[in-house]
Structure 1
Amino acid sequence: MPPADRPPIRVVIADDERVVRDGLRLMLETQPDLLVTGTAADGDHALRLTTDLRPDVLMLDVRMPSHDGLWVLTRLAERGMLTDIRVLMLTTFDMDEYIDEALAGGASGFLLKSASYEDITAAVRATAAGDGALSPSVAGRLIRGYGAWRKADRVDPADLERIAPLTDRERDVLTLIGEGLSNAEIATRLVVSEHTVKSHVSRLLAKTGCRDRAQAAVLARRVTR
């Protein structure tokens, strides 16, 4: 739990189903460090609300009326708002094209609505902190998809340039991020402290230009063999 003097994480929820919006709001507001500042039922409202309220995290459904969540994500990216606002895609669907487009478009995480209460609240906190969040099934799809991509030997030279400044240990950490491991799991695997892992993650994000952990995971899929 964050210190008492730290402001709560401000969240906007965008989902076309009222029962989902209300359920998520009630769930998040049981936590003293999370504050839902608004909800939206369609893409147009989600974009307006996010632009006006500037939340820390936007929980964004993929399929919504008027415009879907991917359209909202694109508009936020065009306006340069993803620097300050983290987007956590929350959806019933885990189809490959949605995962790829969402993460490539700047989403910081992708979580299924079937996730547990604990996983959802933890994902919001992780997303706000810049760590990103991927449900296990999404991480598995990324592993399979980028595994096939790598076998075709199509590594982009630009991606290789991005990882060139990394130390050997930072590359190890990047690889494990790509496998979907948390900082605690990486620390166990590498037999180091979790604080050390966090330092490595911060440095590799800065060196590679990845905005958050989700983008680092995508980069890892592309370059790790």
Structure 2
Amino acid sequence: MTRFEWGHWSVPFFPAARKWVAATVIRVLLILSCACRSRRIRRQLAAEADIEVRHQAPGTWSDVVTAFEGFSPSVVVLERAVLRADGVSVADDIARGGRPPAVVLLADSYHPKDVLPAAKAGVRGFVVDSDGSGPWGTVVRAVAVGGGWLAPAAAGDLLDEFRAPAARRVREQPRIPLTDRELSVLRLVAEGCSNLEVATELGLSQSTIKTHVSRMLARLDLRSRTQLAAFARDLGIV
């Protein structure tokens, strides 16, 4: 996909008489194939004094490119499927441009597998809206200032994705490539014991302790006893 230099605006808002007052108009480009839904969203956004909205039916990529170049949007509302392409992939392409607009992905129904890839692609909004009657003014303002907007189900799944690794770390004990004897040596080294003190504590010779320390350094790709002690502390061994 062709890359573009997108427009960029700083959009501070100030509450006054329960209305939004923007220092700069937010330009919104709708890339939607459903004319009825597009009309509903445009009607909502056109009623907002701080929002300028245009629509581009995704007939060809050339049409979409022309719309971007002629309008320089700060927010793009993109269908989940665009021109036989995955909307998440298109959003990722948009995000790679210089100063890209905030992208809102619009789906007719919720697809759980879209959530994490969309977040990684830089999508700032994930809206499930079959007819275009959602709170679009709020959605647009949220993403335009660097915030986000997620459908409730999407927010829950995204939080679960971030919780899952932490839960797995709690359940799984760290796999350390050391023997029980080496772990005993490591624990004492991390406590600041010298080779002589370690040897005395474990009933071994100093040469044996030196060998254990050298092997641990090599196996863990560490360079010093200080790094070895830090490794032990990071794993909670001491």
TM-score normalised by the chain length of structure 2: 0.56
Q: Does residue 78 of structure 2 align to residue 76 of structure 1?
A: no
User: What is the 5 A alignment of 1:121-140?
Assistant: 121-140=137-156
| Structure 1 stretch displaced more, 115-124 or 92-101 | 115-124
Q: What are structure 1's unaligned runs of at least 5 residues?
A: 155-225
Q: Distance in 1 between matches of 2:59 and 2:122?
A: 20
Q: Distance in 2 between matches of 1:81 and 1:93?
A: 30
Give the C-alpha shift of residue 42 in structure 1. 5.2
Q: Which residue does the alignment assign to 2:57? A: 40
Query: Partner of 2:105: helix, strand, or coil?
Result: strand
* CA gap 1:69/1:51 in 2 versus in 1, 3 angstroms: farther
Q: Which residue does the alignment assign to 2:129? A: 113
Q: Which residue does the alignment assign to 1:30? A: 47
8 Å CA contact 1:109–1:133 kept in 2: the answer is yes
Q: Distance in 2 between matches of 1:86 and 1:55?
A: 9
Structure 1 letter corresponding to 2:150: L
Q: Which residue does the alignment assign to 1:49? A: 67
Structure with greater proportional helix content: 1
* CA gap 1:30/1:97 in 2 versus in 1, 3 angstroms: same
Q: Distance in 1 between matches of 2:106 and 2:152?
A: 13
8 Å CA contact 1:42–1:65 kept in 2: the answer is yes
Q: Distance in 2 between matches of 1:38 and 1:57?
A: 12
8 Å CA contact 1:111–1:133 kept in 2: the answer is yes
TM-score normalised by the chain length of structure 1: 0.58
Q: Which residue does the alignment assign to 2:183? A: none
Q: What are structure 2's unaligned runs of at least 5 residues?
A: 1-18, 171-238
Structure 1 letter corresponding to 2:154: V
Identity %: 24
8 Å CA contact 1:42–1:66 kept in 2: the answer is no
Structure 2 letter corresponding to 1:54: S
Count of aligned pairs:
151
